[in-house]
Copies of this chain bind each other. A is one copy, B any other.
Amino acid sequence: MNKRNCIIGQSGGPTVAINASLAGIIQQAKKDGYDHIYGMINGIKGLLENTYMDLEEAVKNDDDLHDLKTSPAMYLGSCRYKLPDQSDDPVFEQLFHKFEELQITDFFYIGGNDSMDTVAKLSEYAKIMNSDIHFIGIPKTIDNDLMGTDHTPGYGSAAKYVASSMLEIAYDSSIYKLKSITIVEIMGRNAGWLTAASALARTAYSDAPDLIYLPEVPFDQEQFLDDIAKVFEKKRSVIIAVSEGIKNKDGDYLDQDSRYVKKDAFGHILHSGTGKVLETICFKRFKCKVRSIELNVLQRCAMHIASETDIEESFMIGSKAVHYAKDHSGVMVVIKRLSNDPYQSEAAVADVSQIANLEHKIPVNWINDAHNDITKELYDYIYPLIQGEVNVRYHNGIPSYINIRHLEK
């Protein structure tokens, strides 16, 4: 029987679920008896520089696998590197030479839009060269903006972090008897999925967020101020979820608005962020306590509050990728939702060329008419994805995550 060697890479921005997919691939590849399981360090860019590792050796037993599955960010490191459009570029030959050297039969790449572009180009090149290597993409992104899949691994955990943090911020904001506005800025430059997840913070005891602003519909400053005034008629503490990527009707990002561009004494432009811009606008109108909070990178790395549904699905997707590699190439493994209550999903494949470089945004009919909240359909879509808690181990009072010293080299 011929040798079967696979190589796995991670690319793009981090999530807490991308290592679960890696763990899923490793476990299944071991079961399927691959001769070698390699990991590219820092994606294909790293591979071009000859940095890769033996994953069978690094992830020896079930304990290692659990630690990998429940560690945030990217065990293999990442790169932001886009392959050229011309298939006669020497980089393709270099990469395939590397594959030949390692006798690679299957190539797995876990990532977002750009990573799927890599999978598409490599599988195209393989066809041209009559290569037998199978190229499989595994999705991940907290932004949930990939086409072809019901949702993306990593989104559910980030959504759970956003909803839980929003709830805790609401409690924090409740204690004083004074008029206040709290603005929570959430990641998502073009797609509002993550900001929409803030609606999941609502409970019988807390209505926050009172208002939600998404990048899919134009942001109108006067309407925004009117919306707040209306909430103030009923309560004294207004909590607002806002996507970093909201734009005015001309399509300009809010923190590009020249009236709010800040410069330091050296003339450098300081991008203060959408939350800070809104903070100024609100204070000017309402003259009350205004605070803006940027959830920042914690929404994509807070493994300690990951969604069990997300982590298990991400693991499953990784394991299925090995299965699909037997007779597919140039595909991305996707998640199909079978039912919502009880929630059930399964894996499938989609042509990666139909997915790469496209953006999946919130359908406008899942945003309310006033453009300041989401509909029940969107709530029901997100709900199952944040369910369940992950058994993260603690050591010395902090979460115990896998060794990533190899990324320091």
A interface, CB within 8 angstroms of B: 10, 14, 42, 45-46, 71-74, 77-80, 160, 163-165, 167-169, 171-172, 174-177, 200-201, 203-206, 235, 258-260, 262-266, 268, 270, 272, 276, 280, 283-284, 291, 293-294, 296-298, 300-305, 307, 383, 386-389, 394-405, 407-408
Contact = CB atoms under 8 A, between A and B. Distances in A.
A326 B231 CA distance: 47
A205 B405 contact: yes
Contact of A398 (B78, B160, B404): B160
B79 A204 contact: no
Contacts of A205: 401-405
Nearest to A303: B168
Contact of A404 (B171, B276, B300): B171
A272 B168 CA distance: 23
A394 B389 contact: yes
A351 B45 CA distance: 65
A272 B260 CA distance: 13
A203 B304 CA distance: 16
Given A42-B177, A272-B272, A14 B172 contact: yes
B265 A259 contact: yes
Nearest to A73: B171
A31 B71 CA distance: 45
Contact of A174 (B73, B167, B258): B73
A307 B296 CA distance: 23
B235 A177 contact: no
Given A160-B398, A262-B272, A294-B294, 15 more contacts: A42-B176, A71-B171, A73-B172, A73-B174, A73-B175, A160-B397, A167-B399, A203-B396, A205-B404, A258-B265, A259-B264, A268-B283, A268-B284, A305-B305, A387-B396
Nearest to A206: B404
Contacts of A160: 397-398
